[in-house]
Chains A and B, each alone.
Chain A
């Protein structure tokens, strides 16, 4: 899974909250990519998630886009208090789909920093309808107070697991997921199924 999105939206803290249950106020900028893992239980299976946290700055795209190719899932993160980071989500999505060999990548739109209620600049409904239109799932999270962080990662990992096991049942060879391996495209259900709504954390 790759974490993508504009610089400063909280990708690194989302990941550290999920993998180590840590939050760092003075988190430093990511240069290139960083890597973390966590093992979770999905149904009766144990899934080990390898998550690549990428640098958000435009310049580093040349380095980070290499990691899109091996990804089976992506969390496209924006900051609910900064409209521009949401506006650019569309560009991120396009790039992800362009650079990505596997059309079946599971993508979730994540509005982070939901604790900043008084500074909200992106209406939940607007983001949700954008996600629906593009066949993405959608959640608002807060890495700071942990809201929905678990849910977000669990739901994307469950979805990925479901797709991968379908692939295996269909007798397709199991792909090895890594940044430098190419994944064979396989046919799965239409993407609308992936766009299923998860409960939102905010009720404004």
Chain B
């Protein structure tokens, strides 16, 4: 595109200037009611322009720019989700079973901020299939409802006061958490937090190579009220082991999200825990309003988002350490398992350091090319 081509050659500072101008133009359009009859075409044109600018910026410079120039993260979302409608359409052709779902565009937008369209598409497909997001949309959202059930059970165990407060209010998980799960938290939360979350999610493939049985143990163990019997190795014979393994691999795909911090097991309870005091005070409407307004607002401060993610990561590592101890005590460990457990312990710090350095971007490209 003409504008986009031109932009490639200008300096970063000039790009910022363009972006600023574009933003001013858009906001004045919104105010000017005379133009209201054709807002979409104008925004779409501007979106293409803005997107071409945004793509050239590095992540941190984008963040710096956004924080320094009063552009709300929300605006960037709006612009990007306009553009990414195309992405959603492309996916619906690719995956006829699921088709186009509103909500996919939020995740697509996050990916488009980092990489060109083809790569974004590949990563998107990968997240849908290999990370279990696709399963949430299938069979009339059965998996999603299962997650709500699990979330409520987990709250009952970990946040009993909040659980009973919500029960008194008749406030059920599907009223506030559908959006969280279906969009991987990308719809309401500010970008700085969304990126952290997606980073966390994308760091997990490092662990994908590990023994699935071992991971299943971990899953069974959280939140560690599982009877010891369940923790013993399921099958010993090699052939059976093979079948069991392939079954586990399938099951595993669905569990990735919940295993390692992304899903409700660790992340959502943490999210709720940090807001517990506010939520305990709130009535039905207040609580829902809190989820809609205050909660996303709180994490607009990057510091808050970072702290939350740290907490989520810490729980994760504790849970895993505990699991490895349990595994050693209960089952007579084979050499392979021991090796897996060692690998486990050494990969996690790697994951976390990835997070700290925000170099999950590297992983994104790695994924896209594989």
Q: Enumerate chain A residues within 8 angstroms of B285, measured Cβ to Cβ.
A: 35, 37, 50
B110, chain A: closest CB distance, angstroms: 14
Q: Are B183 and A31 in contact (CB under 8 A)?
A: yes
Complex CA–CA separation, A28 to B188 (angstroms): 10
Bound complex: CA of A89 vs CA of B287, how far in Å?
Answer: 32
A26's nearest neighbour on chain B, judged by CB, is: B78
Smallest CB separation, B170 vs chain A (Å): 5
List A contacts of B179 (CB < 8 A). 31-32
- Judged by a CB distance under 8 angstroms, whether B288 is at the interface is yes
Q: Does A74 contact B (CB under 8 A)?
A: no
Verify if A200 is at the interface (C-beta below 8 Å from B). Answer: no
**Is B140 in the interface zone, CB < 8 Å from A?**
yes
Is the pair B102, A181 in contact by a Cβ cutoff of 8 Å?
no
Per-position 1/0 for A174-191, Cβ under 8 A of B: 000011110000000000
Inside 8 A of B140's CB, which chain A residues have their CB? 62
B30 & A25 in contact (Cβ 8 Å cutoff): yes
| Interface flags, B107-136, vs A, CB<8A=1, else 0 | 000000000000000000000000000000
Number of interface residues of B (CB under 8 A): 30
CB distance B36 to A29 under 8 Å?
Answer: no
5 further A-B pairs in the complex, CB-CB below 8 A; given A25-B43, A31-B187, A144-B36: A26-B82, A30-B102, A31-B102, A33-B175, A66-B174
Q: B178 to A179, Cβ gap below 8 A?
A: no
For A37, the chain B residues whose CB sits under 8 A away are: 285
Q: Give the nearest-CB partner of B137 in chain A.
A: A59
Choose from B37, B137, B187, B288 the contact partner of A35 (Cβ within 8 Å). B288
Q: In the assembled complex, which residues on chain B have CB atoms less than 8 Å from the CB atom of A35?
A: 175, 285, 288, 292
* Chain B residues in 8 Å Cβ range of A180: 170, 172
Which single member of A30, A63, A179 contacts B141 (CB below 8 Å)? Answer: A63
The main secondary structure of chain A at its interface with chain B is loop
Q: Which of B43, B175, B183 contacts A26 (CB 8 A)?
A: B43
Bound state CA distance, A103 and B36, in angstroms? Answer: 40
Cβ B141 vs Cβ A62 within 8 A: yes
**Across the interface, do B37 and A32 meet the contact criterion of CB distance under 8 Å?**
no
* Bound complex: CA A181 to CA B172 (Å): 12
Q: Which of A29, A34, A66 contacts B102 (CB 8 A)?
A: A29
- 14 of the cross-chain contacts (CB-CB < 8 Å) are A7-B102, A25-B36, A25-B43, A28-B187, A31-B182, A31-B183, A37-B285, A55-B102, A57-B101, A63-B144, A63-B178, A144-B36, A180-B172, A181-B170
- Please tell me if A84 contacts chain B, counting CB pairs below 8 Å: no
The secondary-structure label for the interface of chain B is: helix
| B233 within 8 A of partner (CB) | no
Is the C-beta of A116 less than 8 angstroms from some C-beta in chain B?
Answer: yes
In the bound complex, residues from chain A placing their C-beta under 8 Å from that of B183 are 31
Contact with B along A88-127 (1 / 0, CB 8 A): 0000000000000000000000000000100000000000
Interface residues of A in 42-75 (CB under 8 A from B): 50, 55, 57, 59-60, 62-63, 66
**What string of 1s and 0s marks CB contacts (under 8 Å) between B59-103 and chain A?**
000000000000000000110011000000000000000010111
Given A25-B39, A62-B141, A31–B78 Cβ distance below 8 Å?
no
Query: B174 to A32, Cβ gap below 8 A?
Result: yes
Query: Given the complex of chains A and B, what is the CA–CA distance between A31 and B285 in angstroms?
Result: 18
Closest to A66 in B: B174
In the complex, the chain B residue whose C-beta lies closest to that of A119 is B37
Interchain nearest-CB distance for A5 vs B (Å): 14
Across-interface contacts of B101 in A (CB, < 8 A) = 57, 59
In angstroms, how far is the closest chain A Cβ from the Cβ of B109?
11
Chain B contacts for A59, CB-based, 8 A? 99, 101, 137
The answer on a CB contact under 8 Å between B81 and A63 is no
A178 close to B170 (CB less than 8 A): yes
B341 within 8 A of A: no
- In the complex formed, the residue of A with least CB distance to B79 is A26
A63→B144 CA distance, assembly (Å) = 10
- Nearest chain A residue, comparing its CB with the CB of B39: A25
Q: By the criterion CB–CB under 8 Å, are A32 and B172 in contact?
A: no
Q: Mark B172-205, 1 if CB is under 8 A from A, else 0.
A: 1011001100110001000000000000000000
